[in-house]
Structure 1
Amino acid sequence: MRSLWTLLALPLLLSSLVLVAAFGVAAFFLECARRISCRHSIDPSDAFFEDPNSLRKVPCPSIFDQAEKYLSLIIPAFNEEYRLPGAFIETINYLQRRSASDKSFSYEVLIVDDGSSDRTSEVAFDFVRKYKIENVRVLLLGRNHGKGEAIRKGMLHSRGELLLMLDADGATKITDLEKLESQICTLAEKVKELNPGDQSMKLSDIEVAAFGSRARLEKQALTTRKWYRNLLMKSFHLVVLLTVGPGIRDTQTLLTNLTAARKLFTNMRLKRWCFDVELVYLCKHLGILMTEVCVNWLEIPGSKVRLTSIISMLFELVLIRLGYGLGIWKICN
C-alpha cells in the first residue's frame, strides 16, 4: 500500500512543482509588463542641447511642435568612438550635397549618446563644432538605457517633417534614404487618390512608415555566416512572426513622418532590443500604413549582440505579447 501511495504522490508532486513554476514565470512576466505600462510623457523643459561653440544651451524641441526641417536623422550611439566617425562623415557628405542641389531639402542630425563610457560624446561634439548646432546636435542620456530608448528620445526631440533612424556603425547607408522616401510618397499618393475631395492633404498629414529591410540579402547571409548565427536568425524571425504576424520581415532602419512618429514614439515602451518589433505592432494597431523596402546592408565588425542579447530579445517579445494582448499596455491614438 505504501508503494502505491508513493507511485501516486510522485506524479502529483511533480505536477504541483510544474504548476507553481508556471505561475511563477507568468507572474514575473506580468509584473515586468505592469512596471512599464505607463505611457511616456514629454517634458523638454529640462532638456537642452549644448552648443560647444557659443557655450549656450539650446532648449530641446518637442515632436509636437511644427516641423522646422525636412529631415531629422537620429543616430543612437553607445561606445561608438571608433565606428561613428566613418559613418557620420559619409552621412553628412550626402546630406550636404543634397542640400546644395535642392534648396527645399533641410536637415538635422541628432546623435543620441546612450551613456557611453568611451569618447563617443567628445567625437560627437567635434562634429557639432564643425557643422554647427543648427545642423548637428548631441543629446546626452547620462546613463545607458538601450538603443530603443535612445531612438525614442531622439525622435521626441526632433524637428523634421520626415524622421529617419540610422545605426552609428554605418551598416545601413544614408544613400538608401531616397528609396524609403519614394515608397512613403507612393503610399501617401494612394491615400490621396482615395480622398479626392481633400486637395489640401500633405505628406505630413498621412500616417506612413517605411522599414528598411535586408530580407533580400538573407540567402547571401546564409552562405557566409556561421551555422549557429543562421539558426539564431531563422529562429528569431519565426518568433517575430508569431508575435506581430506577417507583413514586415526585417527592420534595419525606419523612415516615418511627423504625424505617425507622434503616435509611435509616445506609445513605444521597450527600451532595448525589440523596440523595432514593437513599432511594427503599433503600426498595425494604430492603422499606420507601412511598407518594407530592400536596403543595402553590411555586417560591420564590433557587433554588441551576444547570447545574452538573444535571451533578452525573446524576453521582450513575450512582453509585447502579454503587455498588449492582455491590455496591460494601452495604445493611445
Structure 2
Amino acid sequence: MGWWSLFPDPHLSVSLPLSLLLSSLALILALGIAAFFLEYVRKIGCRHSLERTAASDSFFEDPNSLKKVPCPSICDPPEKYISLIIPAFNEEHRLPGALIETMNYLQQRSAVEKSFSYEVLIVDDGSTDRTSKVAFDFVRKYKIDNVRVILLGRNHGKGEAIRKGMLHSRGELLLMLDADGATKVTDLEKLETQIHALRELNSSAATPNGLSLKLSDIEVAAFGSRAHLEKQALATRKWYRNFLMKGFHLVVLLTAGPGIRDTQCGFKMFTRAAARKLFTNIRLKRWCFDVELVYLCKHLGIPMVEVSVTWSEIPGSKVRLTSIIHMLFELILIRLGYGLGIWKIHT
C-alpha cells in the first residue's frame, strides 16, 4: 500500500456530498409536490361537503312579471320530459344562433308530440359581455316556464355551470350541450333512443308491486361521441396537436379506464336518477369533469352508452394548448382523490 492511500481522493470527497445534496433536494421537492396535491385534493373534498349541505339557489328571475320563481331541486319529482342545460361564458355572439336552432326544434317537436314538454336552462358562468342579456331576451320571448337563466356571478368553470343547471332541472331526461351549437340539437334523439332501449332491456327489473320503473327512476348515461371523426381530425390537425391528443387519451384511459372513447364531447344525456347521483358527487369544476363523470358512472354502477353525433368545429373555441396542462392536473386529482379515499362517493 503506497503512501498516497493515506489521503482521500479530493474528487470523491466533493462528489459524494454533492450527489447527496442533489438527492436530498429531489426528495424534498417530490415530497413538497405530493403534499401540495394532497392538500389541494383535501380542500376540494371539504368544499364539496359544504356545497352538498348548503342551501341551493332560491329563485329564477322572470323579466316579464318581475316576480321570482322558486328553484326546483333534482330531488323533486320531474315536471318536464326533458331539460337542456347550456353553460355559457362570454357567448353573446355564438349563443343566439344555437338557441334559435334549439328552440325551433323543441317547439316543432312539442307541436307534434303532445306529451313532449321541455325547458332550457342557460347557466351564465360569470360572463363579462352581454351573454346574460341575450339569455334573458329568450326568457322574455319563450316565457320562464320554458327558458330559465342561472347567474353564477363569477366564473367557476364549465363543470360547475353544468352541475348547477342539472341540480335545478325539472326533466325526466337531462341533456348538457354547448353554447356554440357544434352538435346538432336534433341528435338528442339518438341519445334518447339509446336510453329508451336500455330501459326496455332492463324492463324485467320491476318495482316490488310489479310495475315497470319510470324513465326518471332508471339510471342511464348516454355520451355523445366524435370518435368516428378521429381519422379526419388526425389528417387536418398539426402533428403536435395530434401528439397531445393521443397522450391525453392515454392518460384518460389510465384514469377512468376503458369504455368511453370520447369523454370530452359536450353533448351528454342522463336520466334524472343518474343525474341526481352523479351531480351531487362531482367535484371538478373546469376541464376534466367529463372524465370524472365516467369514473363516477363506473363506481356507481350506472350503465353508459356512447353514441356517434354530428359535430362541426365552430370558431371561438376557448380551449388552448395550455389547457392540456390544466387537464392533466385535474386527472391527477381524480386519481388521488378517489384512489386514496379522500373523496367519498355518496349513494
User: TM-score normalised to the size of structure 1?
Assistant: 0.97
**Residue number among 129, 133, 154 corresponding to 2:140 in the alignment:** 129
The Cα of 1:10 is off from its aligned counterpart by 2.1
CA distance in 2, matches of 1:86, 1:42: 37
**Residue number among 270, 278, 282 corresponding to 1:268 in the alignment:** 282
Higher alpha-carbon deviation: 201-210 or 274-283 = 201-210
The Cα of 1:206 is off from its aligned counterpart by 1.4
Higher alpha-carbon deviation: 235-244 or 185-194 = 185-194
Which residue of the partner structure matches residue 296 of structure 2? 282
Which residue of the partner structure matches residue 30 of structure 1? 38
**Kept in 2: contact 1:172–1:298 (CA 8 A):** yes
- Secondary structure at the residue paired with 1:71? strand
Give the unaligned 5+ runs of structure 1.
none
CA distance in 2, matches of 1:47, 1:306: 36
Aligned length in residues: 333
Deviations 1:123-154 (A, max 9, x none): 00000000100000000000000000000000
Whether 1:206 and 2:218 are equivalent positions in the alignment is yes
**Residue number among 299, 309, 314 corresponding to 2:313 in the alignment:** 299
Whether 1:97 and 2:108 are equivalent positions in the alignment is yes
**Residue number among 161, 164, 168 corresponding to 2:175 in the alignment:** 164
Give the unaligned 5+ runs of structure 2.
1-7
**Kept in 1: contact 2:184–2:310 (CA 8 A):** yes
The Cα of 1:200 is off from its aligned counterpart by 2.7
CA distance in 1, matches of 2:31, 2:159: 29
Which residue of the partner structure matches residue 52 of structure 1? 63
CA distance in 1, matches of 2:72, 2:207: 34
The Cα of 1:202 is off from its aligned counterpart by 2.0
- In our comparison, the structure showing a higher alpha carbon Rg is 2
CA distance in 2, matches of 1:12, 1:211: 52
Whether 1:221 and 2:256 are equivalent positions in the alignment is no
**Kept in 1: contact 2:83–2:121 (CA 8 A):** yes
CA distance in 1, matches of 2:18, 2:310: 58
Percent identity of the aligned residues?
A: 76
Give 2:233's aligned amino acid: A
**Kept in 1: contact 2:203–2:212 (CA 8 A):** no
Give 1:71's aligned amino acid: I
**Residues 1:161 and 1:193: Cα distance change in structure 2 (over 3 Å):** same
Q: How does 1:138-157 map to 2 (within 5 A)?
A: 138-157=149-168
> Alpha carbon RMSD of aligned pairs, Å?
1.4
Deviations 1:226-279 (A, max 9, x none): 222222211111110010100011131210011111110000000001001000
User: TM-score normalised to the size of structure 2?
Assistant: 0.93
